[in-house]
Amino acid sequence: MPVFSTKRKLNSHLRSNSTKNHTIGLVPTMGALHSGHLSLVKKAILENDQVVVSIFVNPTQFNNEEDLLKYPKTMASDVAQLEAISDNILIFAPSVKELYPEGTQSETFNFNGLDMLMEGRFREGHFDGVGTVVEKLLKAVGPDRAYFGEKDFQQLLIIQKLVALKEIPVQIIGCPIVREPHGLAMSSRNERLSTEGRQEAGFIYRTLLKAKERFAKKSAFKVKEWVTRQFEQNPRLTLEYIQIADATTLRPLTRKQKGKKYRAFVAVYAEGIRLIDNIAL
């Protein structure tokens, strides 16, 4: 499987005669691939002639140095998993210097408040880092479509905003969350949990499912209170936040309105690992 480490080589391959006029699907990742990523890759394969998977652990989106250092790097297994799916995938795995020749600085974006709450509030600078690297990746690859998981729902909306702001001609496609058998949303961070921790973390999704049922009859305030209590009674998980928000603007819900779509979002610590999840209500 071809692995390109420079924009120039990737581009000359993508624009060569063999692939000219082909539609390109990009799946941006930070590696440590799991079934969640593979579901994005499979969808991209169905919808495009050529698929590029980028593998790049982006330093500017980490506000915690230890998190960045501990981020799993599993290139050999990533390549093997992609090879098992299709021989029509290219990997773009640039160095930090290649993507950030002038130093690892984030651009500051105006995402119209989408980045103020939830992940934005608890991970300062995170979405400027995501916006910076996604813009670089989109410009380096020039895809027709780019695929992102709904597990990072706030990130997905911010990337849609980014391409509108920067007028980047690409279709951003959101894909459903893939879950482990016990319900935990797939994430590269799950590898850092013990077997019991992973099982225990299934509690997060079970609680979201019950919150969804309650939301049919109760106010957002009551549902948030109930979710908070459930986590208080579970000594192995610590809730950082529960938010119920408009699924388009991410503004916290104060009063339900007919015809509007809402989503519940949580961040939870399990064995010191920060996990996020969300559900359409």
Which spans of this chain sit near ligand PAF (rule: CB under 6 A)?
Answer: 28-30, 58, 61, 130, 133-134, 152, 155
Q: Taking the complex as a whole, how short is the minimal distance between the CB of residue 260 and ligand PAF, in angstroms?
A: 27
Q: Taking the complex as a whole, how short is the minimal distance between the CB of residue 97 and ligand PAF, in angstroms?
A: 17
> How many CB atoms within 10 Å of residue 97?
10
Three-state DSSP at 132 gives helix
Of the pair 156, 201, the CB lying nearest ligand PAF is at 156
Report the distance separating Cα 55 and Cα 62, nearest Å: 16
Cα atoms in the Cβ-side hemisphere of radius 13 Å centred on 49: 8
Of the pair 117, 252, the CB lying nearest ligand PAF is at 117
Of the pair 58, 207, the CB lying nearest ligand PAF is at 58
Q: Which of 22, 34, 37, 126 is an active site residue?
A: 37
> How many CB atoms within 10 Å of residue 17?
6
Q: Taking the complex as a whole, how short is the minimal distance between the CB of residue 60 and ligand PAF, in angstroms?
A: 9
For the four alpha carbons of 203, 206, 212 and 213, in that order, the dihedral sign comes to: negative
Of the pair 192, 218, the CB lying nearest ligand PAF is at 192
Say which amino acid occupies 24: I
Q: Taking the complex as a whole, how short is the minimal distance between the CB of residue 256 and ligand PAF, in angstroms?
A: 30
Task: Confirm if 233 and 224 have CB atoms less than 8 A apart.
Answer: no
- Clarify whether 37 is annotated catalytic: yes
Q: Taking the complex as a whole, how short is the minimal distance between the CB of residue 29 and ligand PAF, in angstroms?
A: 5
Of the pair 130, 227, the CB lying nearest ligand PAF is at 130
Of the pair 130, 178, the CB lying nearest ligand PAF is at 130
CA 27 to chain centre: 11
Report the distance separating Cα 226 and Cα 211, nearest Å: 8
> What's the start-to-end Cα distance of the chain, in Å?
41
Q: Taking the complex as a whole, how short is the minimal distance between the CB of residue 16 and ligand PAF, in angstroms?
A: 26
Report the distance separating Cα 41 and Cα 24, nearest Å: 12
Contacts of 118 (CB under 8 A, 6+ apart): 154, 241, 243, 245, 250, 265, 267
Report the distance separating Cα 146 and Cα 129, nearest Å: 18
Contacts of 49 (CB under 8 A, 6+ apart): 19, 22, 23, 24, 88
Annotated active-site positions, please? Answer: 37
